Structure 1
């Protein structure tokens, strides 16, 4: 499998297969939303669009980065989301990097959104599709976010043919890189707003869930859905 790692601004063409990475915190949050029962996640292009969707669909759950704001139900924090009951609900998510990255590759034939929480399932899906070339979109810090790059490289390793089965042993150096990242420090020290004390540990949980998250253009919006992948491990929710 040929791989390339690019920032959002470096996407000069439409990739065939794109894996969009946002570990801290968009796609860890998305994974938790599905684990809490969400049916789908609509990735909004702007805060205004997210609020407009919420206005048209009051039963939808709207999420944004940063501190709480009028019109939004919660913030982009896995620690806060994990206590919510989202069974059968549609979630609208707008973040600084993750949702932007997914929308930037909306015309790709396959778009996956990922974090460490769904790494193995994502890798297995790539392997099952026999993807020859995969573009990993490193969304944070203009493509330089260490936690996103580490996650992307780990998924690529797991997706490669003949990769050994000891995922936890392989993951250790990648998780250490993520734990030492600028994003982890900013979350842990309160530089970023809308943070739960458990956010960093939750973002560093490996293979918590057995599903991969596939995004597609559906009725004028980018929609993320979860699908279980046979053989992918998961912890207890």
Structure 2
């Protein structure tokens, strides 16, 4: 597999296959939303779009980065989201990096959104579809976020079927700037367990595929089939 690792600003054309990585915290939160019963996640392009969607669909659950704001139901925190019952609900999600990265590759033939909690399922899907060239979008810090790069590199290795020790990749993520900012309370809308939850490798058995539905970018869980790798 030919893997490229690019920041959002480095995307000059739509890749064939894109894996958009946001470990802390967008796509850890998205996975938790599905685990809590959400049917689908609409990836909003702006806060205004998220609020407009919420206004048109009051029953939807709106999530944003940072502190809670009027019109939103909760914030981008896996520690807070895990206590919510989202059974059958639609979630509207807007973050500063993850959702932006997914929308930047919306024209790709296959868009996966990933973090450590869905790493193996994501790699397995890439293997079963025999993806020859994959662009990993490192969303944080203009493509320099080590937690996202570490996760992307780990998934890329697992996608080839290679036995890979995850400990160094998880250590890099735990030592990252994002992890420190979450642990030290620099970022708002944080639960004390957020970093730990973001570093839970393969907690969930599904990958997450984003597709265009009625002009919206919609994320859904997908359980890959086929044999597991070593």
- Is the CA contact 1:210–1:232 (under 8 Å) kept in the aligned structure 2? no
What SS does the corresponding residue of 2:38 show, helix, strand or coil? coil
1:150 aligns with 2:156: no
Find the aligned partners of 1:7 and 1:31 in 2 and give their Cα distance.
22
Gap regions ≥5 residues in structure 2: none
1:137 aligns with 2:112: no
Cross-structure match for 1:195: 190
Count of residue pairs brought into register by the alignment: 228
Gap regions ≥5 residues in structure 1: none
CA positional deviation for 1:227 = 1.1
Structure 1 moving runs of 4+ over 3 Å: 230-233
Find the aligned partners of 1:107 and 1:229 in 2 and give their Cα distance.
22
Cross-structure match for 2:70: 70
- Is the CA contact 1:2–1:133 (under 8 Å) kept in the aligned structure 2? yes
Per-residue deviation, residues 107-165 of structure 1 (Å, max 9, x unmatched): 0000000000000000000000000000000000000000000000000010014x13x
CA positional deviation for 1:229 = 2.0
| 2:203 counterpart (198, 208, 211) | 208
Alignment of structure 1 residues 67-106 onto 2, 5 Å: 67-106=67-106
CA RMSD of aligned residues (A): 1.1
Find the aligned partners of 2:128 and 2:211 in 1 and give their Cα distance.
19
Shift in alpha-carbon separation, 1:232–1:49, aligned structure 2, 3 A: farther
Find the aligned partners of 2:89 and 2:23 in 1 and give their Cα distance.
23
CA positional deviation for 1:86 = 0.2
